[in-house]
Structure 1
């Protein structure tokens, strides 16, 4: 079974959630915590509706590339489905995770995306949750997703972070 998403070259959902869960299960007591970010392309349906699915696919590839360039080689990046990506930052506190999330947000906003010679602004909303002690993937995902919706409901093109236990 393939572990890579064919479109974005990121881990697919199953491979991403499995890798993060295994990391959390075996982490050492000296681990400095980490963060889970959920990145969602804003108003993505309108890109597909206006420019077609090929343009939407290209937008997803560009967003995935911006995400991969913004993270460390040891971080995990996965496509969770549709226009949603997950990023796991090991050994990362809330300040560092927020910095990475803002770097991703700015990088995506700077993409010069012009399908059919018509400029189309891309943006993402990002929700994140950090942990300092024991954590389970499901709980981190729930908290990060909750903050993703906070970012979307307060205007999109935003980051909303939470420090979990």
Structure 2
């Protein structure tokens, strides 16, 4: 998602119709009651013609106005929701941006009696992709990597772009053994991407470092530990995973 969608979703239209009908119903009730009270005060009472006018006029005059107003307010609400969402996403890859990822992981890591694993993923030799094929193809490679990362984790996990060709995955409530399986599966899925800039095969690979916690910890602390292990993975030849030893 890289831009605002102007079309309202189906649920929004259902809400607009329900709101319009509800407001029209209230308007009709108020009109009928007011008509009955006025005609009872200034004449012998309400007649069928007066009652019909009291019912029909709010529908004819108020219905379109209420409907138009409801569409406007719902479009504004929908646009505000999209803007709030866009503020958390990386414009290129569609995953969380660094600020949103760090803030959410910080919140999860600070929760008592909760464990998790942070993986830091870095594309190997990525500068050569940009130098050889150009930044537009480099961007395409990053999108492919982000898609593979998102597809390789559960819905409860978080995926974010930390900057450049570096990504992060946070696996809540997961132990190191499970995290190692996820990391290795992600590594293999990226290595299996058929990336063909200008029709030329360009293999992609990533190095992954990780850190775990079983008590409250700051994001910068767990990130620093995972980043150090990422450096170890790079030193070991890249295209590998470096996690702490499970107890």
Structure 1 length normalisation: TM-score? 0.94
Residue number among 83, 89, 108 corresponding to 1:4 in the alignment: 89
Whole-angstrom distance in 1 between the partners of 2:134 and 2:209: 27
Match of 1:17 in 2: 102
Correspondence 1:91 to 2:212: no
Deviations 1:33-58 (A, max 9, x none): 11000000000000000011110000
Q: CA deviation at 1:164?
A: 8.9
Residue number among 162, 165, 178 corresponding to 1:80 in the alignment: 162
8 A contact 1:40–1:85 mirrored in 2: yes
Q: CA deviation at 1:22?
A: 1.2
Match of 1:129 in 2: 211
Structure 2 length normalisation: TM-score? 0.64
Which region of structure 1 is more displaced relative to structure 2, 5-14 or 133-142? 133-142
Q: CA deviation at 1:163?
A: 5.3
8 A contact 2:120–2:210 mirrored in 1: yes
Residue number among 123, 134, 142 corresponding to 2:224 in the alignment: 142
If asked which structure has higher relative contact order (CA below 8 Å, sep 6+), I would say 1
Correspondence 1:110 to 2:213: no
Whole-angstrom distance in 1 between the partners of 2:217 and 2:117: 10
Q: Report which of the two has the higher share of helix.
A: 2
The runs of 4+ residues in structure 1 deviating greater than 3 Å are none
Whole-angstrom distance in 2 between the partners of 1:3 and 1:55: 24
Matched length: 162
**Which runs of 5 or more structure 1 residues have no equivalent in the other structure?**
none
Whole-angstrom distance in 2 between the partners of 1:140 and 1:46: 30
**Which runs of 5 or more structure 2 residues have no equivalent in the other structure?**
1-83
Whole-angstrom distance in 1 between the partners of 2:119 and 2:125: 19
Deviations 1:43-97 (A, max 9, x none): 0000000011110000000000000000010101100000000111000000011
Whole-angstrom distance in 2 between the partners of 1:137 and 1:42: 24
Correspondence 1:157 to 2:236: no
